[in-house]
A and B are shown apart, each in its own frame.
Chain A
Amino acid sequence: MQANEEEKVTMVKCILCKKKAIQGLNILGSFICHECERRIVALNVADEGYDYYIEQLKLIWHRS
């Protein structure tokens, strides 16, 4: 129970998938979960979701 509460405290919302996760990148205060980081590494410019990543990554410097 105590461990669960501690987990909740450290969970952060990912700027890309909007899901809460514990581990991932923290760039200038913007959090990207491991799953989304993995997707970015495999991302191709012709992929359908590429435009979404372009938009969402702007949050990194808009927030900072």
Chain B
Amino acid sequence: MIPTWSTFFLFPIIKGAALLISYISNTCSFPEPLKEEEEEELLKKLDLGDETARNILIERNLRLVAHIAKKFDNFNIDVEDLISIGSIGLIKAIKTFDRTKKTRLGTYAAKCIENEILMYIRTLKKMRKEVFLYEPIDSDSEGNEIRLIDIIGINEGDVVADEVEGIIEQDKLREKVKKLSGRERKIVEMRYGLCDGIRRTQREISKALGISRSYVSRIEKRALSKLQKDMASEGYH
């Protein structure tokens, strides 16, 4: 059976949700939340500078992070990324929590976790306004990435010709690429075959560098935005 478009879009969501459920239900992963009296006791110890109390408060609120991350699973963001972002919010919450304000830690932490995720989504939305033709938008049943250029039917040759007008612009762009940070430069060079003429997929790069595909994607987007701004500031469009 030929997979439909809905299959392509639903598969990552279902996979992500299953992973998330396993974090919440698997007793080997995130520990049980604290009882109110346990929490109160640990907060008192935390006020006295007890490091262990802080560790326990963070660990026992990780399920809260996973539960809040679940609310955002329709934003097409990697579920593990969401839990990491939520964990940043949780660490901030534990560090800044003020017991004298009579708010429950769970209420305060939930706000901080949600806020961190929302801020991240806002930043992503800004970045997503910039559409890149070679950005993978999904993958087919064999795991090959599908790029925007593949479905809108533009001749790649025309696009390249439009994008890079003349050898002077190309040289300028190569100069700018050299100024990127180490990992950004490496990813842009591999994606666009700047060193050996071989364009690699994000999945291939993620395997080669030992990092996740979503991380490669974020670094690539950030690098392209930098290059775009840098080129525009010198009058190249």
Contact = CB atoms under 8 A, between A and B. Distances in A.
Contacts of A61: 23, 29-30, 62, 83
Given A26-B55, A41-B96, A45-B123, A55 B91 contact: no
B80 interface: yes
Interface string A46-64: 1010110111011011001
Indicate the member of B30, B87, B96 with the most A CB atoms within 10 Å: B87
- State the main secondary structure of chain A at its contact with B: mixed
Nearest to B29: A61
A17 interface: no
A37 B29 CA distance: 22
Interface residues of A, number: 24
Contact of A51 (B23, B80, B83, B222): B222
B227 to A, nearest CB: 15
B92 interface: yes
A55 B212 contact: yes
Contacts of B219: 51
Interface in B167-200: 181
A11 interface: no
Interface in B50-96: 51, 54-55, 58-59, 62, 80-81, 83-85, 87-88, 91-92, 95-96
Nearest to A23: B51
Interface residues of B, number: 34
B218 interface: yes
Contact of A25 (B58, B83, B88, B218): B58
B29 A41 contact: no
B88 A53 contact: yes
A28 to B, nearest CB: 6
Nearest to B222: A51
A45 B37 CA distance: 34
Contacts of A40: 88, 91-92
A27 B95 CA distance: 14
Nearest to A24: B51
Interface in B3-26: 23
Given A58-B80, A64-B28, A64-B29, 10 more contacts: A27-B55, A41-B96, A48-B222, A53-B84, A54-B84, A54-B215, A55-B211, A58-B212, A60-B62, A61-B29
